[in-house]
Chains A and B, each alone.
Chain A
Amino acid sequence: MSAVTPTVPTAAPAGSAVGRSVRDSLIVAKRNLIRMTRIPEMVIFGLIQPIMFVVLFTYVFGGSMKIGASTSATDYKNFLMAGIFAQTVTFATAGSGAGIADDMHKGLVDRFRSLPMARGAVLTGRTLADLVQTALTLLVLAVVALLVGWRVGTDGSTNAGKVVAAFGLVLLLGYAFTWIGALIGLSVRTPEAATSGGLVWLFPVTFLSNAFVDTGNMTPWLRHIAEWNPFSATVQAARVLFANPGRSTSEAWPMQHPVWASLAYSVLIIAIFRTLAVRKYRSATA
């Protein structure tokens, strides 16, 4: 092999800390997006599960659910979709955690940590790439929902802007939850543990909510939990913006101001869990 000559050490990084952080995050995001194209089966499996939920809930539960005073299957279908969309973006976070655990396991995190790059960039890049994947999943899912008969504006009026805003809030929730998944991924030893650990807490969070059933039919203490569940706020907000039936009429503040509640919850979750995850990453050892 030919000679390898050590020459110049690198110059100090150019630009501001923020600029560097954004740049490094985008480089890592690009890496993760390239990976997605190389492992298409992961993207495909990520799609099959929510599609199954749409179909199963619509046809199996649809006929026997009571939404407000209505038992119509069509009402349930229109009620359901906001919940399924929100559930889909949160379930996708288990994959983020597993990906990070895998990077640790394989030694990539050590490689990154030995490089003079922005500290949070590995995690931010990962969460941004996952956000892109989630957005694509949501797009496909919306088409499937339309195919099984979901419509917006079935209970009031809405417009394109509000529909887009609803999807935006759902994606923001997904992004916020990704940071929880990232923290789980950094805290466990294997990708397998990250997958199961990343899913297990999502069942109570998504089912103790207004996503699949009308909270009005729950016993009071359960109803209170469901109404204050951050996840419910986003579902309620999406229902309001879609003008779909079955919106909670509860006095609880998040149900009365779902858009603000959804935004506040998501921002709060990002603030807390991003801080924890980045701190964990700094000391991460595999």
Chain B
Amino acid sequence: MPGAIHAEGLVKTFGDVRALDGVDLDVPEGTVLGLLGPNGAGKTTAVRCLTTLLRPDSGRAVVAGVDVLRHPDAVRRSIGLSGQFAAVDEYLTGRENLQMVGQLYQMRAKAAKARAAELLEQFHLADAADRPAKTYSGGMRRRLDLAAALVVSPPVMFMDEPTTGLDPRNRQQLWEVIQQLVAGGTTLLLTTQYLEEADHLAHDIAVVDHGRVIAQGTSDQLKARTGGERVEVVVHEREHIGTAAEVLRVFGKGDTTVEEHTRKLTVPVTGGAKLLAEVIRELDARGIEIDDVGLRRPTLDDVFLSLTGHVAETAGRDETSDAETSDKEAVK
């Protein structure tokens, strides 16, 4: 059974740029998919296609059980959109904004009014409800924007870089709201450049680059794909780098990388903490003074870099540097 958000072979070109080059996605009901990718990877274009803002050149998409291309209006009744490109009117007050959105979701004026009051309360905007949104702080504006997307409690939500530009406290707050939403059963597709955010919020992560999904899975699966743990050693004396490299070669399961200027050596390993202890003992036995040593597990950053770097090499895409233009530019 297809998920609450399902896409097959989405293609969208802008002139020479293939912003989407056959994107397949599936988000089971009640889960969160994090769409991760650099600027210009096609994340925003994918969201725009799924939210009826953009018509893909080919492919198929079903959102909340409705075919996006055939019944866009029915899809619009079931989705909420928030993030970098779905704004609020800064000259209207928070209340006026939410009422207007409610009415445009075809709610009756009275119901829209009541719902606006409820959301302002929920999102801690009641005190600022009757001030123009222009006077809001960045965090308040994002909350209002999110509230606008939730006016009809849509079963499927799309958030495009919801926390870009927010300070850590506001980001944390927004994360909490998002987690509550998902706990309540909402299906969410979220784009982000923050790996931490995807790690924190998403059940599944799809890594997008050059308009294609190049990897998909849970955060742990993706990390495992990149390779397991590594031992990282920072030696105190530059002349010890060579000896330390010899030691690591013995214990390691691959090539040792050396950063001369930071005196840092890294080698992939298997064997975890036990092996780490052995490495330390051996280094000590050879009289190598160490500043820092540790077992490092791959972060999503590593995953991301290794995946996108890999694709750029093997697919011979170095010519398509225009694909690097941000989605916004490409759309124009």
Report which A residues bind B (CB closer than 8 A).
1-14, 20, 24, 27-28, 30-31, 34-35, 38-39, 106-108, 110-117, 189, 283, 285-286
Assembled-state Cα–Cα distance A1/B122 (Å): 6
Determine whether the beta carbon of A1 is less than 8 Å from that of B124. Answer: yes
Smallest CB-CB separation from B186: which chain A residue? A6
Determine whether the beta carbon of A115 is less than 8 Å from that of B76. Answer: yes
Classify the interface of chain A: helix, strand, loop or mixed. Answer: loop
Residues of chain A within 8 A of B124, CB atoms compared: 1
Residues of chain A within 8 A of B86, CB atoms compared: 107, 110-111, 114
Q: A10-B105, A31-B89 are in contact. Are A113 and B52 (CB under 8 A)?
A: yes
Report which B residues bind A (CB closer than 8 A).
48, 51-55, 64, 73-74, 76-79, 81, 84-92, 96, 100-101, 103-107, 122-124, 132, 148, 150, 152-155, 173, 176-177, 180-181, 183-186, 328, 331-332
Determine whether the beta carbon of B155 is less than 8 Å from that of A9. Answer: yes
Determine whether the beta carbon of B106 is less than 8 Å from that of A117. Answer: yes
Determine whether the beta carbon of A13 is less than 8 Å from that of B132. Answer: no
For the complex of A and B, 4 pairs with smallest distance between CB atoms: A107-B87, A116-B76, A13-B106, A114-B81
Smallest CB-CB separation from A30: which chain B residue? B100
Determine whether the beta carbon of A189 is less than 8 Å from that of B106. Answer: no
Contact of B85 among A2, A10, A286 (CB under 8 A): A286
The total number of A-B Cβ pairs within 8 Å is: 123
Residues of chain B within 8 A of A285, CB atoms compared: 48, 53-54, 331-332
Determine whether the beta carbon of B48 is less than 8 Å from that of A4. Answer: no
Jot down 6 A-B pairs with beta carbons below 8 A, ordered by A: A10-B107, A31-B92, A38-B92, A39-B91, A116-B73, A116-B77
Residues of chain B within 8 A of A24, CB atoms compared: 104
Determine whether the beta carbon of A38 is less than 8 Å from that of B104. Answer: no
Contact of B105 among A2, A34, A115, A286 (CB under 8 A): A115
Determine whether the beta carbon of A20 is less than 8 Å from that of B100. Answer: no
Q: A14-B106, A38-B132 are in contact. Are A4 and B101 (CB under 8 A)?
A: no
Smallest CB-CB separation from A14: which chain B residue? B106
Measured between C-beta atoms, what is the minimum distance from A193 to chain B in Å?
Answer: 12
Smallest CB-CB separation from A36: which chain B residue? B91
Measured between C-beta atoms, what is the minimum distance from B313 to chain A in Å?
Answer: 32
Determine whether the beta carbon of B76 is less than 8 Å from that of A114. Answer: yes
Measured between C-beta atoms, what is the minimum distance from A112 to chain B in Å?
Answer: 7
Measured between C-beta atoms, what is the minimum distance from A223 to chain B in Å?
Answer: 43
Assembled-state Cα–Cα distance A114/B53 (Å): 7
Determine whether the beta carbon of B77 is less than 8 Å from that of A10. Answer: yes
Residues of chain A within 8 A of B183, CB atoms compared: 3
